[in-house]
Amino acid sequence: MVSARFPEPMVPRLFAVRRVRRETEDTFTLELQPESPSEGMAFAAGQFNMLYVFGVGEVPISISGDPEKPEILVHTVRAVGTVTKAICRLKPGGFLGVRGPFGTRWPVEEAMGGDVVLVAGGIGLAPLRPVVYQLLARRGEFGRVALLYGARSPKEMVYRRELARWEKRPGFTVHTTVDKPAEGWEGNVGVVTTLIPEVEFDPREAVAMVCGPEIMMRFAVLELQKRGVPEEKIFISMERNMKCGIGLCGHCQIGPYFVCKDGPVFRFDVIKPFFGKREI
């Protein structure tokens, strides 16, 4: 999805930091705006960008904003390495280089008419957030919709205000859970996969989209299969060491696929032979 106006995928475009919101102790959501307001970045839910901090380096980060608002580019970043820490230190008025968008999308269109189950762990809710926006905007085109979200503790949950708003929307069910409850927590306790048996959906017609740590996705897929969801109706977002974004460098290769180009969203039956194997 490289536009004709910006055809060179290896050259970053300059974006200004418009707003920074702290999600958790180490996770921040940044709103970015292009130098020219008319030059927004169209993207599909599930795609990612390469974010470049000048003089520091570049990292792949999923786009977590609304696909219907391409004039504002949104990324949620956890400060875990040199580059991501530098990104999270940026203030409004600072600048980032952006390459993209890259990769495949979540199957929102294919899910029309049936039930939709979203399963997210930790910051894995960020790549699914654009899907939530699309489902809410076009609620009448889908069956039952359920978002299952798990975090290690209440204070490590991202988008807490939005979660509270989403669960009030008719026909949109939100189930949250934490591994370690804090004082005052009245919700579910346990890993997010324990919620799957409790959710109402038709496995014959449902599409499931899963994002989070690989071990969480592995058990989520097992639980969905137990419910009768076919492998070809389960989609997962893979995370590998992406460098170029266009399938040239080979850093993110998994079997015959490149996560940056053939993913990050994969149908589970396609990626199944290589899923969970780090050295392929």
Fold observed for domain 13-102: Elongation Factor Tu (Ef-tu); domain 3 (2.40.30)
Alpha helices in the chain (DSSP H): 82-88, 125-137, 160-166, 214-226, 259-262, 268-271
Cα 103-107-277 angle, rounded to 5 deg: 60
As a dihedral over the C-alpha atoms of residue 55, residue 57, residue 62, residue 63, rounded to 10 degrees, the angle is 20
Q: What pLDDT score does 2 carry?
A: 41
With a pLDDT cut of 90, the percent of the chain lying above it is 89
Of the candidates 193, 186, 129, 208, the one whose C-alpha atom is nearest the C-alpha of residue 161 is: 129
Each residue's pLDDT tens digit, 73-129: 999 999 999 999 999 999 999 999 999 999 999 999 999 999 999 999 999 999 999
Each residue's pLDDT tens digit, 145-178: 999 999 999 999 999 999 999 999 999 999 999 9
Q: pTM for this structure?
A: 0.94
SS3 category, 184: coil
User: Would you list the domain boundaries of the chain?
Assistant: 13-102, 109-237
Q: What pLDDT score does 54 carry?
A: 94
Q: Looking at the chain, how many residues does it have?
A: 280
SS3 category, 247: coil
Q: What pLDDT score does 36 carry?
A: 76
CA distance linking residue 44 with residue 22, whole number of Å: 25
CA distance linking residue 211 with residue 100, whole number of Å: 20
Each residue's pLDDT tens digit, 15-68: 999 999 999 999 999 999 998 766 789 999 999 999 999 999 999 999 999 999
Summarize the confidence of residues 218-230 as an average pLDDT: 97
- Is 50 exceeded by the pLDDT of residue 4? no
CATH of 109-237, one of 3.40.50.2000, 3.50.50.60, 3.30.1370.60, 3.40.50.80: 3.40.50.80
Neighbours of 161 (CB within 10 A): 9
Each residue's pLDDT tens digit, 119-152: 999 999 999 999 999 999 999 999 999 999 999 9
- Is 50 exceeded by the pLDDT of residue 1? no
3-state DSSP helix/strand/coil percent for the chain, to nearest 5? 25, 30, 45
